[in-house]
Structures are given as C-alpha cells and as structure tokens.
C-alpha cells in the first residue's frame, strides 16, 4: 500500500490528522494548483506566504525522515500520473469551500480519498440541536460547545512514527517565477513561528476584551493567517490558551470561526446566496464600488482601512465591520461584491468566515445584525481611533489635521487646502435609503 499524504491547508507536522492516520509507505505532497493560481495576480502576497510555508514544511518532514514532493499543475493530472506510479490512496484534511469539495470529488474518482477533520475543533456533522437540525444562531451553538470549553485540553493527533518514505523521484521545486509570481514583502509577524506569536500574545490576553476593538492598538493575536494555512492547529491554540483564567473571550472568538465553518458545511449555498430568503434591491453603483475598493470614498476611516488592505493584505476586525457596513448599507452594494474583493486581498481569506461575516454585516445572514443597525463610520472612528493614529498612519495627507475633524461628516473637506475627495454619499440619506430597501424586501417577515 502506497499512500499519498496531500497537504493543503494543514502545513504543519504537529497535531496533523494525516500524519497520525497514515500507515506504511507514504509520499507527502503539496500541489500548487493552477486552477487557483491562474486566477491570481503575480503580486499576490498569499502565494509568497504559502511558498515559504511549504518549503518550511518540507524541512520539517525531512526531520521526520520523510520529505515533500512539490508539484505545480492541475490536481487531476497530478493524481492521474501518481496512479500510474502505483499509489493506491490519498489522505487529506477536510475543506468545506465550494471549489475544494468539487476538486476532492474529482480526485476521489481517480483513487480513494480519505478526508480528516483537523482544521477546526469540531466535526460539523456532530453538533446538532434537540431536533437534530443544525444551529443557525451563534449563542445556542456556543452553548452547545460547553463540553469543549470545560475540557482543559483537547487531545491532539500524534504522528505515526512508523512511516517510511516511498522511493519517488521528484526533486524539482518549482520557483515562484516559474509559476508566474514575484516574491512579495510580508509583514514581520508573518515570518514568526505561530507558537511564539501566541506566547507573546498570552502576555496581553488579560487585556483582550478591553483592547481588541481599538484599531491602533496591538490588542489581538494576529494568528489568523497562520491558522488559515494550518501552520498551527486550532487545537494547539485552544490548548495553549485554555489554562489562562482570562481566556474565555478569546476562545469565544475561536468558536465564531467554528460557527462560520459549521454554517458553510450545513448551508453550502450561503457561499453564493443570501442566507435569509430575501431579495434585496441593491443599488450596485460601479463607480461607488470602485471608490470603495480604492479607498477614495471621502470617509477617512473607510479610506484608510481599504488603502491599508490594498497595500498590506491585512485589516483589523473592527475595520472589516466598518467597511462592510458602509458598502452594504450606506452604498447599498451587494455583499457578494465586497466578499469577492476581500477574497482577492485578505492574507487570511477564509471562505467560511468571510462569507458569514459579510452576510452578518449585510443583514442577510442567518445570525445577522438587524438591517436598521447601520454603523456610523464617523462615530466608529471617534470611538476606536480617537486620536486618528491609524487613519494618519495610512493617509499621511491628513497628518496635520485636527483629529476631531476626522470623525465629522465632511470635516476633513472643510479644509480647502487639502486635496481630499468629497464624500460620495451622505450618511443620513443613505441610512434612510437602506431602511426603506429592507422594508420593501419584507425583511420583517423572515
């Protein structure tokens, strides 16, 4: 029996389900999938991050006496070739994303494919309400996970020590350039070992609830990119944080990640459709959308958030909520447009969290903010970036501006010497518009 261990979103050797379940002769592989890569621009930062992570994984596997064969191509072709080489089965981790499910189904028609759940704490099939149906609202779901919370430690997978590497000649490692990409600079924290990042964060854990919403403060763990690509497992994070008496609010956020993945598993259509059965008459003004993407809406907090996203591939959670509310409620643009744009840009892009969070902001999700709760971006920036430290760090032309003006509608524009765009929409008028639109969509009846 020659097994293929297909690493995808689990680029680690610790607490890894496929290394625990594998038996005998194995070939660990990673495929740079052309179906995904061909759609990305040559300066995509994620490809640089994944590339470096894959090379690290190769070294880690070598330390276990194994190795990693790295392919560049269409997974179907790769597996057809591997079948000819006498491989009999594939082990990989579960991925609920639409494309991943389709791809896995195709591969399973070439050779038996066994998927293990290890990118999330729970197996979505196993958590159901009293009527044996999936939860749709976070709080009861969260309460149903009390058994996890009460556990001081969740058992991690242990690597099978009796694995041996199949003799296979695949030494070539495709370069980024061969795949059509150029190496991109990445923020320092991404270069750090995620276990080290968590350790440093644990010293700030007690302040998490207090600081996590303040944009210019380093109040969160910044672990989402490592977690997305599985450089650390959610169990490892849980086990590292659970012993701290102040860990509950942090673990609650990890459970949000679980919830969103759970929703995508049970309601796969929600990746593309409103979860609530409503038809919203979106305005979908292309010029407004372009200005939102480029960070030229005339609202300093929105512009700074979007320009930072475009440059760094990162966005603070509070900013994600502000720009998502602004796009869907003030500009009345379909959440799918924003979701797609985030998918292109976010280093930590994860379909489940992104889709559910956008549906939350747009009031179309299963557990969403009510449509009449529209964030006022100026009040938000006043509260969460009072001194304008974040805004000024991204928009240097506003450096000398009195911070109070940043938090006032048309405040910055009152300075005639500044070259700053006019607001593309009035906050008050757009609030009234969204309210009318959702009433017409019979939101109250769902």
Ligand X SMILES: Cc1cc2nc3c(=O)[nH]c(=O)nc-3n(C[C@H](O)[C@H](O)[C@H](O)COP(=O)(O)OP(=O)(O)OC[C@H]3O[C@@H](n4cnc5c(N)ncnc54)[C@H](O)[C@@H]3O)c2cc1C
Binding-site residue numbers for FAD are 208, 220-224, 250, 253-260
Smallest separation (angstroms) from ligand X to the CB of 187: 12
Query: In 151-232, where does DSSP find H-type helix?
Result: 188-191, 194-202, 208-211, 224-228
- Residue number, 104 or 367, with CB nearest to ligand X: 367
The only residue of 266, 288, 320, 329 in contact with ligand X, by rule CB under 6 A: 320
| Region from 76-84, 86-94, 341-349, 430-438 binding ligand X, contact rule CB under 6 A | 341-349
Taking CA 71 as the corner, what is the angle to CA 57 and CA 225, rounded to the nearest 5 degrees? 45
Q: 39 and 79 in contact (C-beta within 8 Å)? A: no
| 3-state SS class at 349 | coil
The only residue of 321, 374, 424, 434 in contact with ligand X, by rule CB under 6 A: 321
| Region from 26-34, 48-56, 248-256, 300-308 binding ligand X, contact rule CB under 6 A | 248-256
Half-sphere exposure of 364 (CA within 13 A, CB side): 30
- Residue number, 78 or 356, with CB nearest to ligand X: 356
Cα–Cα distance for residue pair 182/43, rounded to 1 Å: 6
**Which residues make Cβ contacts (< 8 Å) with residue 235, sequence separation at least 6?**
15, 118, 121, 154, 155, 156
Q: 90 and 107 in contact (C-beta within 8 Å)? A: yes
Q: Is 346 in the site for ligand X (CB under 6 A)?
A: yes
Smallest separation (angstroms) from ligand X to the CB of 107: 25
The count of residues interacting with ligand X (CB under 6 A) is 27
* Residue 152 burial (10 A CB sphere; 0-12, 13-18, 19+): exposed
- Residue number, 217 or 405, with CB nearest to ligand X: 217
Q: Is 357 in the site for ligand X (CB under 6 A)?
A: yes
Nearest-CA neighbor of 63 among 213, 163, 179?
Answer: 163
Smallest separation (angstroms) from ligand X to the CB of 352: 8
Q: Is 350 in the site for ligand X (CB under 6 A)?
A: yes
Helix (H) or strand (E) holding 70: strand 69-73
Interface of this chain with ligand X, residues 360 to 419, rule: CB under 6 A: 361
| 3-state SS class at 433 | helix
- Residue number, 51 or 250, with CB nearest to ligand X: 250
Q: Is 354 in the site for ligand X (CB under 6 A)?
A: yes
Write phi, then psi, for 164 (nearest 5 degrees): -130, 155
Buried b (16+ CB within 10 A) or exposed e, 90-116: bbbbbbbbeebeebbeebeebbebebb
The only residue of 96, 119, 353, 376 in contact with ligand X, by rule CB under 6 A: 353
Smallest separation (angstroms) from ligand X to the CB of 140: 17
The only residue of 17, 70, 324, 441 in contact with ligand X, by rule CB under 6 A: 324
Q: Is 271 in the site for ligand X (CB under 6 A)?
A: no
- Residue number, 166 or 309, with CB nearest to ligand X: 309
Interface of this chain with ligand X, residues 169 to 228, rule: CB under 6 A: 212, 220-224, 227-228
Cα–Cα distance for residue pair 197/296, rounded to 1 Å: 34
Taking CA 327 as the corner, what is the angle to CA 326 and CA 332, rounded to the nearest 5 degrees? 105
Smallest separation (angstroms) from ligand X to the CB of 325: 9
Q: Is 349 in the site for ligand X (CB under 6 A)?
A: yes
**């066994």: which residue's tokens?**
114
Q: Which positions from 220 to 239 touch ligand X by CB under 6 A, shown as an x/- string?
A: xxxxx--xx-----------
Q: Is 260 in the site for ligand X (CB under 6 A)?
A: yes
List of residues contacting ligand X (CB under 6 A): 212, 220-224, 227-228, 253-254, 256-257, 260, 317, 320-321, 324, 342, 346, 348-350, 353-354, 357-358, 361
């Amino acid at each position: 029996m020659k097994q293929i261990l297909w690493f995808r979103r689990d680029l680690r050797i610790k607490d890894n389900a496929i290394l625990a379940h594998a038996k005998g002769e194995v070939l660990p592989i990673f495929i740079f999938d052309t179906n995904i890569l061909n759609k990305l621009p040559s300066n995509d930062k994620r490809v640089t991050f994944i590339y470096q992570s894959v090379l690290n994984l190769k070294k880690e596997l070598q330390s276990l006496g194994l190795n990693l064969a790295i392919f560049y191509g269409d997974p179907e072709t790769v597996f057809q070739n591997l079948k000819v080489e006498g491989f009999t089965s594939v082990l990989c981790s579960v991925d609920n994303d639409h494309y991943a499910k389709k791809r896995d189904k195709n591969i399973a028609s070439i050779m038996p494919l066994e998927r293990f759940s290890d990118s999330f704490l729970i197996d979505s099939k196993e958590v159901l309400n009293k009527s044996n149906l999936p939860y749709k609202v976070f709080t009861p779901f969260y309460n149903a996970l009390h058994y996890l919370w009460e556990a001081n430690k969740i058992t991690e997978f242990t690597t099978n020590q009796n694995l041996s590497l199949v003799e296979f000649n695949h030494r070539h490692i495709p370069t980024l350039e061969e795949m059509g990409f150029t190496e991109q600079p990445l923020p320092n924290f991404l270069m750090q070992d995620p276990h080290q990042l968590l350790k440093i964060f644990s010293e700030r854990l007690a302040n998490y609830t207090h600081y996590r919403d303040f944009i210019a403060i380093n109040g969160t763990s910044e672990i989402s990119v490592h977690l997305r690509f599985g450089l650390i497992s959610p169990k490892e994070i849980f086990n590292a944080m659970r012993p701290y008496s102040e860990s509950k609010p942090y673990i609650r956020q990890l459970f949000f990640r679980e919830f969103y993945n759970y929703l995508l598993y049970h309601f796969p259509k929600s990746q593309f459709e409103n979860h609530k059965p409503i038809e919203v008459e979106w305005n979908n003004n292309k010029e407004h959308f372009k200005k939102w993407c480029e960070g030229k809406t005339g609202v300093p907090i929105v512009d700074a958030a979007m320009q930072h996203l475009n440059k760094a591939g990162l966005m603070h959670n509070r900013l994600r909520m502000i720009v998502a509310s602004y796009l869907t409620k003030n500009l009345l643009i379909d959440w799918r447009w924003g979701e797609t744009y985030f998918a292109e840009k976010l280093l930590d892009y994860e379909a489940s969290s992104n889709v559910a969070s956008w549906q939350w902001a747009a009031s179309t999700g299963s557990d969403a903010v009510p449509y009449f709760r529209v964030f006022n971006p100026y009040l938000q920036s006043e509260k969460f970036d009072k001194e304008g430290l974040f805004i000024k760090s991204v928009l240097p032309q506003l450096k000398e501006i009195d911070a109070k003006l940043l938090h006032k509608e048309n405040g910055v524009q009152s300075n005639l010497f500044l070259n700053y765009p006019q607001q593309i929409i009035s906050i008050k008028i757009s609030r009234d518009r969204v309210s009318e639109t959702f009433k017409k969509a019979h939101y109250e009846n769902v």
